[in-house]
């Protein structure tokens, strides 16, 4: 289970489900986006005293009447260069820094679009920011700006050789709405996992 502090939330079971739903989506979407790299989830300690988890951050924000989700990928260039070369079917030496960064930024866009689609299938309208990059040390700033009602979680995505850290900050205002559609969300994730069509990798 994703490392998440749920003790102060009025519905800890639902907030825990939502964190784990985002976590599981990230693994499945990265596998598809990177053209079927075998990705696993590894536990990670939620360390709030660190100013950064990695050199760079790619992130996206989703929001609606039920709350908000901030999804972040904390990464180093060598990792995203490797995954970009696999996803783009190019030699690793031909992957530029900007291409590797764009690859990780677009992964956040893929994640945001999938999560948005899951909720909008149930008539829950979701706003979504553009994905953007930030220096890793900006994590300390994001932490200070985080809504005090939100809960955070942390995990790693690994291909067995290299890995990134993913994190979410979720502010859940209407847990009953999420609880009502939980079986359908689980079904949508299962159907997405069984769909092996990774498609083309296109940068925004």
Is the torsion defined by CA of 171, 176, 182, 188 positive or negative? negative
Is the pLDDT at 7 greater than 60? The verdict is: no
CA-to-CA separations, 170 to 77, 87, 173, in angstroms, rounded: 27, 29, 9
Lowest mean pLDDT among 99-108, 157-166, 184-193: 184-193
Is the pLDDT at 6 greater than 70? The verdict is: no
Q: Are 179 and 12 within 8 A, CB to CB? A: no
Q: Are 100 and 84 within 8 A, CB to CB? A: yes
Exposed, middle or buried: residue 48 (CB in 10 Å: 0-12, 13-18, 19+)?
exposed
pTM, entire model: 0.90
User: Does the domain at residues 12-184 carry the CATH identifier 1.20.58.340?
Assistant: no
Number of H helices, E strands in the chain: 5, 8
Residue 10's pLDDT is 74
C-alpha angle 64-69-75 in degrees, rounded to nearest 5: 150
Band the pLDDT of 36: cuts 50, 70, 90: confident
Q: What is the domain partition of the chain in residue ranges? A: 12-184
């Amino acid at each position: 289970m994703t490392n998440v502090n749920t003790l102060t939330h009025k519905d800890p079971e639902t907030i825990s489900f939502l964190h784990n739903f985002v976590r599981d989506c990230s693994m499945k979407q990265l596998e598809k986006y990177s053209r079927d790299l075998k990705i696993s989830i590894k536990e990670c300690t939620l360390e709030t005293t660190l100013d950064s988890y990695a050199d760079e951050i790619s992130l996206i924000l989703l929001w609606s009447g039920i709350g908000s989700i901030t999804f972040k990928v904390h990464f180093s260039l060598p990792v995203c260069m490797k995954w970009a070369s696999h996803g783009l079917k190019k030699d690793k030496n031909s992957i530029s820094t900007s291409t590797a960064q764009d690859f990780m930024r677009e992964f956040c866009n893929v994640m945001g679009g999938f999560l948005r689609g899951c909720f909008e299938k149930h008539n829950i309208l979701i706003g979504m920011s553009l994905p953007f990059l930030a220096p890793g040390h900006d994590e300390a700033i994001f932490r200070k700006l985080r809504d005090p009602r939100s809960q955070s979680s942390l995990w790693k995505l690994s291909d067995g050789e290299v890995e990134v850290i993913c994190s979410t900050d979720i502010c859940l205002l209407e847990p009953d709405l999420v609880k009502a559609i939980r079986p359908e969300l689980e079904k949508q994730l299962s159907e997405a996992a069984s769909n092996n069509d990774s498609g083309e990798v296109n940068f925004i």
